[in-house]
Amino acid sequence: MITLKENFYRLLHPKIVFLLTSAGKDGKHNVMSCAWATPASEEPPKVIVCVSKEHYTAELILQTEEFAINIPTKDMVKAIWICGSKSGRSVDKFKEAKLKTFKASKVSAPLIEGCAGFIECKVTKTIDAGECYAFLADVVESMTDERYFKKGIWIADNIPMHLGGRKIVYFVSSALHE
């Protein structure tokens, strides 16, 4: 056994990669690639998303206390890399990644066309979590494209999973194709 101090969190990977959208009070939208989210409660439905305090996305979420989780498909890997390597302070990542958006039903953050699923969230508590803010949020709307999600689970080989660093993997299981 080896001791992991700096990269202990990679023991919890792979995780679903998602595109986290936000909107500022001025109406400006942003998107970033993220993998640090988890359900926090089924009843009431809540999630926690962790975002670096230095990221523009954190600034916008602090302003409006809303965000949306957009779950991309494997066809969107290039957009995932673009949205994870540039700052929305200086670049329109939607334009650069060729992402089209549409209006969410319950939050000001936009949703991204072509994604396999969406979770709209309203922040109930912001936790100082070291270099990150942990945003505890109520799930106010969630939906999925049935081409990718059947019988309560993702269909294999469609949803990007972040393994760590610049590595994306996909899970494969014949049991999921029943």
pLDDT tens digit string along 146-174? 998 888 888 878 888 776 777 777 766 55
The structure's pTM equals: 0.91
pLDDT tens digit string along 59-82? 999 999 999 999 999 999 999 999
pLDDT tens digit string along 91-139? 999 999 999 999 999 999 999 999 999 999 999 999 999 999 999 999 9
- Measure Cα distances from 49 to 15, 17, 139, 145, 159 in Å: 12, 12, 12, 22, 19
Strands 66-71 and 132-144: unpaired
Q: How far apart are the first and last CA of the chain?
A: 38
Cα four-point dihedral sign 18, 115, 157, 146: positive
